[in-house]
Amino acid sequence: MSASAVSPYGADFPQGTALKVLVAEDDPMLRMILVKMLTGTVDLQVAEDGLQAWQRFEANPPDLLVSDWMMPGMDGLALCRLVKSVPQFCYVILMTAKDTLDDKVDALECGADEYLVKPVEPRELFARIRAGARIVALNRKLSDDSRTDKLTGLRNRRAFDEALASEAARSERSGRPFCLLIGDVDDFKSVNDTYGHAVGDDVLAAISRMIEQAIRKGDTAYRLGGDEFAVILPECPETGGRECLGRMVKAVEGFRVSAMRGPVGLSLGVAVFEPGQSATLDSLIRRADEHMYSTKRVSVK
């Protein structure tokens, strides 16, 4: 869905939402209405029953689920429970002919965010989807903020831990290695002690920008905390990791902020994750750390 996608029901979605919607409905007529309503305004997936919907969800998790309650194989309540059991946020709109108070309470207690009684007026349903899109956009912002380092703008340690585990799983599936770079600022404590923490912050922010400029598109840089940085290089052999390390060293070489008398050094280490070797992520980080400290000892000498 483009940011300017406009619905035939008179209103567009929040700018930049790019909403992925999964529709689970066993009634062919209502399913056709929903498809006609949403095609061209969202990234749409369609399922004919609850089991198929769960398979679609696992393969490509949506931002918003519109589901019937009464379906063969797996009903809407069971589907809702499964959807809400995974960490990824998904807004759920449940539709049903059941309209007692107990039914509504059951649906909400299963995790449904909206409850609509059939027959559903298309304009109201579309308005509810737009309301859900606003919640999705807010959740995305909150999630992104919680994974961003405020000083440097890089991704933070929480984002790094998640991305490293995800990349290792992808590497095992694809059979392709990836590299991890870890680095820190040489004698950063003396920078803070000599010039003050404001200058130290300027150093970290500037080095972060240099790191981002030195890495490939698709690589991601992280601030792990203090003066420690990391870069994950997907589908990258050790030779590629060492080439990236060289670019980063060259980018920072001779750098200093205006308040400092001398340049700032950045020590870096690289380690490669080879799929199928049963190496742990802790050992990968340790090997990158060890390589970094070996380069630091050489540079100090």
Given this model, what pLDDT does residue 38 score?
85
Q: If you count them, how many residues does the chain have?
A: 301
**Structure pTM?**
0.72
pLDDT tops 50 at residue 81: yes
Q: How confident is the model at residue 10, as a pLDDT?
A: 44
Q: For residues 120 and 230, which has the higher predicted lDDT (pLDDT)?
A: 230
pLDDT of residue 14: 52
Is residue 193's pLDDT more than 80?
yes
Q: What is the 3-state secondary structure (H, E, C) of 250-279?
A: HHHCCCCCCCCCCCCCEEEEEEEECCCCCC
Contacts of 259 (CB under 8 A, 6+ apart): 195, 199, 202
Q: What is the pLDDT of residue 162?
A: 93
Looking at the predicted structure, is the pLDDT value of residue 221 above 50?
yes
pLDDT mean across residues, the chain: 88
pLDDT band at residue 297, thresholds of 50, 70 and 90?
low
Query: Mean pLDDT throughout 18-33?
Result: 89
What are the tokens at 175?
């059979």
Instruction: Give the burial class of 132: count Cβ atoms within 10 A of its Cβ; 0-12 exposed, 13-18 middle, 19 or more buried.
Output: buried
Q: What is the pLDDT of residue 87?
A: 83
Record the tokens describing residue 256, joined without a space.
Answer: 């200093």
Predicted pLDDT of residue 1 = 38
CATH class of 20-145: alpha beta
Contact 92, 84 (CB under 8 A): yes
Backbone torsions φ then ψ of 151, nearest 5 degrees: -70, -45
In this predicted model, what pLDDT tens digit does every residue of 165-184 receive, in sequence order? 999 999 999 999 999 999 99
CA 4: distance to chain centroid? 24
Q: What is the rounded average pLDDT of the residues 247-261?
A: 84
Pick the range with the lowest mean pLDDT from 22-26, 138-142, 254-258.
254-258
**CATH fold of 157-300:** Alpha-Beta Plaits (3.30.70)
In order, the DSSP letters of the chain are --TT-B-TTS-BPPTT---EEEEE---HHHHHHHHHHHBTTBEEEEESSHHHHHHHHHHS--SEEEEESS-SSS-HHHHHHHHHHSSS--EEEEEES--SHHHHHHHHHTT-SEEEESSPPHHHHHHHHHHHHHHHHHHHHHHHHTTB-TTT-SB-HHHHHHHHHHHHHHHHHHT--EEEEEEEETTHHHHHHHH-HHHHHHHHHHHHHHHHHHSPBTBEEEEEETTEEEEEETT--HHHHHHHHHHHHHHHTT---TT-SSPPPEEEEEEEE-TTS---HHHHHHHHHHHHHHHHHHHH-
pLDDT band at residue 242, thresholds of 50, 70 and 90? very high
Q: Which residue has the higher pLDDT, 229 or 2?
A: 229
Catalytic residue, chosen from 63, 113, 202, 227, is 227
What CA–CA distance (Å, rounded) separates 128 from 99? Answer: 18
Spatial contact of 284 and 271, defined as CB atoms under 8 Å apart? yes
pLDDT at residue 9 tops 80:
no
**Residue 227 annotated to the active site:** yes
% of residues, the chain, pLDDT over 70 = 93
Look at residue 6 and tell me whether its pLDDT is greater than 80. no
Vertex 234 angle, CA 232 and 237, to 5°: 100
Domain residue ranges in the chain: 20-145, 157-300
